[in-house]
Every structure is written in structure tokens, then in C-alpha cells.
């Protein structure tokens, strides 16, 4: 499985990436080994993800999300959070 994900950094900013192991990747970010951007903005929290069958699809979605405006990214994170709450 391939994932496109968004993290909320300690400073409130959002970071978008892709991975094949989302739990491991979030852990790496929180250990300071994930990305230069998140290294100084720890801890980070997973606020959004999507799953894809191929690496190319996940990378394409990552690129699309990175091109969104901050409000659009915030809306994605809010809708994902709301969807999780209705599932429980």
C-alpha cells in the first residue's frame, strides 16, 4: 500500500509526503529522521492520509496537495478528522 499524508507540525504548519509505511514514517518524523522540514518542528501529528495502489499515484497526489492553498489543506485535514469521528 502507498500513502499520501499530511502532518501538523508543532508550529501549526502542515507537511505533506508519501510513504509505504505510514506508522513508521510518522515515527521517523517524530524522531527527527523524517524530513529536514519537520526536524525542527517536532512533534508532528498525522492529520490526513489517503491510500493508493501505486507509488506513482501517491506521489501524484502528494504533488497535487502541495500545490493547494493553506485553507484547502486545512479543509482536507478537517474533513478527514470529521470522517474519522463519524466512524467511531
Report pLDDT for 73: 97
CB atoms within 10 A of CB 12: 7
d(CA 63, CA 27): 22
**What domains can you pick out in the chain, each with its CATH number?**
2-87 (3.40.1440.10)
pLDDT at 87: 65
What integer pLDDT is reported at residue 20 of this predicted model? Answer: 98
Output the pTM of the full model.
0.92
Half-sphere exposure of 19 (CA within 13 A, CB side): 19
- What is the pairing mode between strands 14-19 and 2-8? antiparallel
Q: What is the mean pLDDT of each run of 10 residues along the chain (88 residues)?
A: 97 98 97 95 97 98 98 94 69
Looking at residue 4, what is its pLDDT?
Answer: 98
| pLDDT confidence of residue 88 | 55
Amino acid at each position: 500500500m502507498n500513502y499520501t499524508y499530511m502532518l501538523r507540525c508543532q508550529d501549526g504548519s502542515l507537511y505533506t509526503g508519501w510513504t509505504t509505511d505510514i506508522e513508521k514514517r510518522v515515527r521517523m518524523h517524530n524522531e527527527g529522521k523524517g524530513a529536514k522540514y519537520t526536524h525542527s518542528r517536532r512533534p508532528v501529528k498525522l492529520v490526513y492520509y489517503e491510500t493508493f495502489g501505486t507509488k506513482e499515484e501517491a506521489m501524484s497526489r502528494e504533488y497535487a496537495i502541495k500545490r493547494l492553498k493553506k485553507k484547502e489543506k486545512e479543509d482536507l485535514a478537517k474533513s478527514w478528522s470529521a470522517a474519522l469521528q463519524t466512524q467511531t
